Amino acid sequence: MKKVSQFVAGRFVAGALVVTPIYLAALLLVKVMKSLSHLVRPVVGLLPEWLPAERLLSLLLVLGICFLIGLAVRTTAGKRVWERAESSLLQKIPGYALFRGLTQQLAGQGQDSTWKPALAEIEEALVPAFIIEKLDDGRFTVFVPSVPTPFAGAIYILTPDRVHPLNVPVTTAIKVISQWGSGSRDLVAAMKGERMPQRRPI
């Protein structure tokens, strides 16, 4: 009975971690569209009545604003403003820096060691993990994700001899986790510094 309840609770948490960000993003988008609807009303009367013009124009306006902000933060001045806002406000939000590091690495832009793929020794076994930080005494804070979602799991503080960093992309480790361990041999080969032998065609 305990195993069943743990299974149900684990699957519920995994599903919530997927659904919640999507729901919040959609809710935020709808709210922003409503707040901008008054700006597009003068144009709505010029369009056919059968067209949901107010919602469509509000959506296009939101997308246009996002595009312009994206252009702005690519400039030197925009980067400075964004960095100041990030350091003074966003960095104070719990978990922001951690998930920002993961997002950057997924986009191929990460430069730090946050979310570094690794194999950790847990109870006489090797498990896929991510190095979150290195402590002053040399130990590592390691996040061991649950299957099949990489965003829920357990935190361990392990000595260096039990943590084996891998020279593989974050996407490779996440793919192994989301596929119930399929492809783990590539992680083991990376730990040993070996290349996987090419399969001969049958």
Residue 98: inside a domain, yes or no?
A: no
Domain edge (last residue) among 92, 107, 129: 92
CA distance 81 to 94: 21
CA distance 153 to 13: 10
87 and 135 fall within a common domain: no
pLDDT digits (tens, 9 = 90+) for 120-156: 998 888 988 888 888 999 899 998 888 777 677 888 9
Domain edge (last residue) among 50, 77, 92: 92
Residue 165: inside a domain, yes or no?
A: yes
Residue 199: inside a domain, yes or no?
A: no
Residue 84: C-alpha distances to residues 63, 105, 201 (Å): 24, 22, 55
pLDDT digits (tens, 9 = 90+) for 83-129: 777 666 665 565 555 566 656 555 555 555 567 889 999 888 898 88
Indicate whether 52 pLDDT > 50. yes
125 and 158 fall within a common domain: yes
Contact 181, 147 (CB under 8 A): yes
User: What is the model's pTM?
Assistant: 0.48
82 and 127 fall within a common domain: no
Residue 166: inside a domain, yes or no?
A: yes
70 and 150 fall within a common domain: no
The predicted pLDDT at position 158 comes to 93
88 and 38 fall within a common domain: yes
24 and 81 fall within a common domain: yes
Spatial strand order of the sheet with 140-145 comes to 153-158, 140-145, 125-134, 116-122, 163-165
Residue 198: inside a domain, yes or no?
A: no
Residue 202: inside a domain, yes or no?
A: no
Residue 13: give the domain boundaries. 2-92
Q: What is the band of 196 on the pLDDT scale with cuts at 50, 70, 90?
A: very low
8 and 83 fall within a common domain: yes
67 and 131 fall within a common domain: no
How many structural domains are present in the chain? 2
9 and 72 fall within a common domain: yes
79 and 129 fall within a common domain: no
Least Cα distance to 133 among 162, 113, 105 occurs for 113
Name the one residue in this structure whose structure tokens are 């005494």.
137
Chain-wide mean pLDDT for the chain? 75
136 and 80 fall within a common domain: no
Residue 125: inside a domain, yes or no?
A: yes
pLDDT, mean of residues 67-78: 82
Q: What is the band of 51 on the pLDDT scale with cuts at 50, 70, 90?
A: confident
Residue 66: inside a domain, yes or no?
A: yes
88 and 121 fall within a common domain: no
The predicted pLDDT at position 62 comes to 83
